[in-house]
Amino acid sequence: METKERKPWINWTIFLGTVIVVFVLGLLASSIVERRSEAQYALQMFKPIKADEARNEVWGENFPREYEII
């Protein structure tokens, strides 16, 4: 019975393909973990605000990037 062996370049192609897939999956997992940690810190209040507060100055203390002085 004759056994067929794969050519060496096929083995290297499979290996490099596997390395690329694992690398891309690692980037995806890293991105997911980073987004989850950003979500935890996104809405931390410096000062509590009442639910019916309408003054922009009060909201601007907690959200300085979104607050624009006119």
Res 28: pLDDT = 97
Q: Who has greater pLDDT, 70 or 55? A: 55
Q: DSSP secondary structure string, 22-38?
A: HHHHHHHHHHHHHHHHH
Torsion angles phi and psi, residue 40, rounded to 5 = -70, -35
Q: Hey, what are 12's tokens?
A: 């290297």
How much is the average pLDDT of 30-34?
94
Please determine, for residue 41, whether its predicted confidence score (pLDDT) is greater than 70: yes
pTM as predicted:
0.53
Mean pLDDT (the chain) is 84
Q: How does residue 53 score in pLDDT terms, banded at 50, 70 and 90?
A: confident
Q: Which residue has the higher pLDDT, 4 or 10?
A: 10
